A and B are shown apart, each in its own frame.
Chain A
Amino acid sequence: KNQVEQSPQSLIILEGKNCTLQCNYTVSPFSNLRWYKQDTGRGPVSLTIMTFSENTKSNGRYTATLDADTKQSSLHITASQLSDSASYICVVSDQGGKLIFGQGTELSVKP
C-alpha cells in the first residue's frame, strides 16, 4: 500500500533555532517528492520538489533531502522565524501524477 509517514507529529522550537522534519514513504512507482507548507486555514503551498535523481534542494532557509534508496526525506529549517509556524506536509507523487500525502508535522515557533 502506498503510504507516507512523517515524524514528529508536532514540534515546538524557539525562534532562531534549526529543526529537521522526517518523511518515510512506500510509494511505487515513484515520480517525485514535495514538501508543502500549510498555514492554518489555508491551502498548502509548495516549498520544494525533488525527482528520483535529486538528493538535495534548497528554497531560502528550507533545505530538503531525498534518499531514494532508503525512501526517506527530510526538511531542514534554518534560523526559524515565527512565520514558520505551520503544518509541513510531505507528499509523494506516483508516475501517474497521483499525490499521496503524509499527515503533516505541526511546527510551532515560539519567541
Chain B
Amino acid sequence: DTGVSQDPRHKITKRGQNVTFRCDPISEHNRLYWYRQTLGQGPEFLTYFQNEAQLEKSRLLSDRFSAERPKGSFSTLEIQRTEQGDSAMYLCASSLKGGPRNYEQYFGPGTRLTVT
C-alpha cells in the first residue's frame, strides 16, 4: 500500500460551481478524516468517519459541504455553490483504531482548491 491518496491534486473552479474530491485511505484503516488548511495556518478539522459512519462534523462544515464514505473505504467531499473563501488545501488522513499505532493519522498529499 502506498499510503493515503487524494484526487485531484489541484482544482480550479468558478464561484458557484460544485466540486467533489476523493480520498482513498490506507486499506486497513477504519478511520478517515477531512481537514481544511489555508495558507500559513495549520489544518482545521472538518469531519471524520469510522468505517462508513460519520461520527463528528465541525461547525466549519456548512450545509454546502457534504462528505460520504459509503462502503467504509474511499470517501468523497463535495462542496456545492463554491465561494472564494473555500479556496484552500483539503487534506485527508486515515488511522487505525487500536494497536501500537493507535489513532496515528497518515495524511494524503491534499487537494488544492482555487475558486475564481
Footprint of B on A, CB under 8 Å?
Answer: 4, 31, 34, 36, 41-46, 49, 89, 91, 93, 97-99, 101-104, 106
Number of chain B interface residues as a range: 20 to 34
Closest residue on chain B to residue A106 by CB atoms? B40
**Contact status of A43 and B41, CB under 8 A, knowing A93-B103, A99-B105:** no
Cβ contacts under 8 Å, B91 to chain A: 43-44
Closest residue on chain B to residue A97 by CB atoms? B103
**Contact status of A46 and B104, CB under 8 A, knowing A97-B95, A103-B40, A106-B40:** yes
Is the pair B41, A42 in contact by a Cβ cutoff of 8 Å? no
Q: Give the complex CA separation of A4 and B42 in angstroms.
A: 10
Q: Give the complex CA separation of A44 and B35 in angstroms.
A: 11
- 8 Å CB interface, B23-77 against A: 31, 40-45
Is the pair B45, A98 in contact by a Cβ cutoff of 8 Å? yes
Is the pair B44, A101 in contact by a Cβ cutoff of 8 Å? yes
Closest residue on chain B to residue A91 by CB atoms? B42
Q: Which one, B11-19, B80-88, B106-114, is touching chain A?
A: B106-114
Cβ contacts under 8 Å, A106 to chain B: 40
Across the A-B interface, give the 4 residue pairs with the lowest CB-CB distance, nearest first.
Answer: A101-B42, A43-B107, A97-B103, A43-B109
Does B4 lie at the interface of the complex (its beta carbon under 8 Å from any beta carbon of A)?
Answer: yes
Cβ contacts under 8 Å, B44 to chain A: 101
Cβ contacts under 8 Å, A45 to chain B: 107
Given contacts A43-B4, A104-B42, 17 further A-B contacts (CB under 8 A): A31-B103, A34-B104, A43-B6, A43-B93, A43-B109, A43-B110, A44-B91, A46-B104, A89-B43, A91-B42, A98-B45, A101-B42, A101-B44, A102-B42, A103-B42, A104-B40, A104-B41
Q: Give the complex CA separation of A26 and B95 in angstroms.
A: 24
Cβ contacts under 8 Å, A89 to chain B: 42-43
Cβ contacts under 8 Å, A99 to chain B: 45, 105
Is the pair A41, B112 in contact by a Cβ cutoff of 8 Å? yes
